[in-house]
A = this chain, B = another copy of it.
Amino acid sequence: MKTEDMIIVSVDDHIVEPPDMFEQHVPVQLRAQAPRYEYEANGDGFWIFEDRRVSNTGLNAVVGRPRDEYGMEPAAISQMREGAYDVHKRVDDMNVNGLLASLNFGTFVGFDGAFFQGSSDKKLAHAMVQAYNDWHIDTWCGAYPGRFIPMAILPVWDIDLVVGEIKRVVKKGCHAVAFSDNPSLRGLPSIHNAHWEPLWKVCADNHVVLNCHIGTGAAAAHPSLESPIDAWITGMPMSISNSACDWVQLKALQKYPDLKVALSEGGIGWVPYFLERADFTFEHHHEWTHTDFGGKKPSDIFREHFITCFIDDKFGVKNREDIGVDIICYECDYPHSDTVWPEAPEYLMRNFVGCSDEDIDKITHLNAMRTYSFDPFKDIPREQCTVGALRAKATHVDTTPRSGGGNRPLAEGETRVVTSADIMKLFAEAGRVKEEA
């Protein structure tokens, strides 16, 4: 296959929520209480809701900058490439990157959408979750049919509301929800608790995929304050392996053949090791641990219920048979610093050495389409979906790196190695979620 003939769907990108997102979708009597995007005197932006503020509005939304600015944290929407928050510019940036479609996680609401869980007025919070989903599905994804896989956030504090919201968004054609990779680390019951039974059922019944992004539970630990930040960045995707070990044990996976879990931004090259290890553990220990996979092995359960994804993972793609060719998807991670935008197709092609066209099609789009009940071709003729066709529409898009401004981890001119302490300080100052004094 030629690079320009690929059809690429990404199952992990990010929206930086635009300031006007709550204007249309919040009931009029609650509109004054909706989250607002405001500015400090120095121009830094933040979201404010009830008495909580989120100053970090971009979370590493550095796409399009020179690489020496990847660690400079945008402090306001104005410091980001417009594709981060403007759907029209986003589609331009997708086109220039040859990307047909994209599933987008939120930013100020958290990758698992858990921000509203911390609200004191849960009725208000529920209305905001619904407004968020309506904006996401109708306004953002709705603007370009066939270009986005919609994904809802959940009112996770109330299981009945969760079920209700899923049924509501399914009617809008949404078959994905964001969920913590380890809710027990988010102040919620563990995945093994009967509490979640109605969630598993409603997802399975409606073909709704649970999307567990790295960092939403068992996040990578900074090894030490003095560690070069590269250590943390390196370990970040694989940190979801702790949760993979846990999810594969979930009994509901045996009960609901259609229940699907995505390990978002988790990488793929470590998966065959993990599957072999899970099988060894079962075979070697089940006589005292009493685990039981109904005649199957943990690796069977994984291949039936999980999807994985990668940005650039040649070893994983080479060993796709040991993962399962049907459970590998692509992700672009726009607008975060690991993205290879606007060269995703070129990076991807280097991963596909020795791959059949059939496998390339599965990994680039067919697996994502099947898993997410997503058919872009009903909206866009297939021949207009290729890398070549999309790029031909984007000749006006300027991809020249541009400086963006924001907060630096080091003082101007410093050239020492950036450490975990530097980045922790940067994010603490930005105040991921700051409780107002």
Contacts from A to B (Cβ < 8 Å):
66-72, 182, 184-185, 190-193, 218, 220-221, 223-235, 237-239, 241-243, 245-246, 248-249, 267-270, 272-274, 276-278, 280-282, 284-292, 298, 312-316, 319, 322, 337-338, 340, 409, 415-419
User: Which of B185, B191, B238 interacts with A270 by CB under 8 Å?
Assistant: B238
Provide the residues of chain B in CB contact with A229, threshold 8 Å: 285, 289
- Contact between A313 and B276, CB atoms less than 8 A apart: yes
Provide the residues of chain B in CB contact with A223, threshold 8 Å: 182, 184, 190, 218, 242-243, 245-246
User: Which of B191, B230, B419 interacts with A282 by CB under 8 Å?
Assistant: B230
Provide the residues of chain B in CB contact with A270, threshold 8 Å: 238, 241, 269-270, 273-274
Provide the residues of chain B in CB contact with A281, threshold 8 Å: 230, 233-234
Distance in angstroms from A358 CB to nearest chain B CB is 23
Provide the residues of chain B in CB contact with A249, threshold 8 Å: 227-228, 230-231
User: Which of B228, B238, B280, B285 interacts with A192 by CB under 8 Å?
Assistant: B228
Distance in angstroms from A88 CB to nearest chain B CB is 28
By CB atoms of chain B within 10 A, which of A68, A190, A290 has the most? A290
Q: List 8 A-B contacts (CB under 8 A).
A: A71-B289, A190-B226, A192-B226, A223-B245, A223-B246, A270-B270, A284-B340, A290-B416
Distance in angstroms from A285 CB to nearest chain B CB is 6
Bound-state Cα–Cα, A337 to B71, Å: 44
User: Which of B284, B285, B312, B322 interacts with A280 by CB under 8 Å?
Assistant: B312
Bound-state Cα–Cα, A239 to B356, Å: 34
With contacts A246-B231, A270-B273, A315-B322 taken as known, whether A224 is within 8 angstroms of B182 at the C-beta atoms is: yes
With contacts A237-B277, A238-B274 taken as known, whether A288 is within 8 angstroms of B70 at the C-beta atoms is: yes
Distance in angstroms from A237 CB to nearest chain B CB is 7
Smallest CB-CB A-B distances: 3 pairs: A269-B273, A190-B224, A223-B246
Bound-state Cα–Cα, A243 to B419, Å: 15
Bound-state Cα–Cα, A78 to B301, Å: 41
Bound-state Cα–Cα, A415 to B314, Å: 43
By CB atoms of chain B within 10 A, which of A272, A282, A313 has the most? A272
Distance in angstroms from A266 CB to nearest chain B CB is 11
By CB atoms of chain B within 10 A, which of A185, A190, A230, A313 has the most? A230
Provide the residues of chain B in CB contact with A314, threshold 8 Å: 276
With contacts A238-B277, A285-B337, A287-B68 taken as known, whether A231 is within 8 angstroms of B245 at the C-beta atoms is: yes
Bound-state Cα–Cα, A279 to B235, Å: 12
